[in-house]
Amino acid sequence: ERFKLRMGGMCSSCSDDPEASQRRRAHEQFLPEKGKAQRGETQYVDEMDENPTIQQPAGDQPAGVGFALENMGDSLFEDLARFLRTLPPKSKQHIWEHGVKVKAQDGKKTVCETTRSKDQINRLMCDCVIVYVKYLDRNRSPLSTKTVRPHIEHVTQHIYAKYHPLQRDRFENDKSYFPTMLEDYVQSK
């Protein structure tokens, strides 16, 4: 069965949305009981999985608890580029709308057609990595922006310096627009 990538779920930046919280609670009633797992843990562990991005157990930590971005190095950005090429425009639209917005004085948020700052590129990168990692392991909780941010600082700086401002239409509809930037970063090292 093919899985659809569901955007618009809860993230660390949007956890105060009462409607999203209500939808999540309604959805959780159909999920199996998780037991006494720590936040971010899953009950599923595939002993045959040789994925280097999943941390090995340390001490009494259960297997498969954390996702080791630090172990991926530049392969994270190469893999992310391949993943983004296959992502449908509607999913990329959700990523853009979540990461590239400004708050007006009246409190309303407006989605920008181009990036206006390095911080917006940083949020865009964080969201892309979070979606990619969630795609790799749908059974685990999404990574937080706080966890991802340190691992993308250099690529964000590279993209900001070389490509700013990024264009919304090209990000969403041109399959190679953003992936080429990621590959350029890897090749520039």
Residue 47 has a pLDDT of: 37
- At 71 the pLDDT is 79
In the predicted structure, residue 85 carries a pLDDT above the cut 70: yes
Question: For the chain, what is the mean pLDDT?
Answer: 78
What's the pTM value of the predicted model, to 2 decimals? Answer: 0.67
Contact 171, 177 (CB under 8 A): yes
**Rounded CA separation 137/188 (Å):** 30
Least confident of 29-33, 103-107, 151-155, 185-189: 29-33
pLDDT band per the 50, 70, 90 thresholds, residue 69: confident
Task: Give the C-alpha separation, 65 to 75, whole Å.
Answer: 21
For residues 54 and 144, which has the higher predicted lDDT (pLDDT)? Answer: 144
How many C-beta neighbours within 10 Å does residue 144 have?
Answer: 15
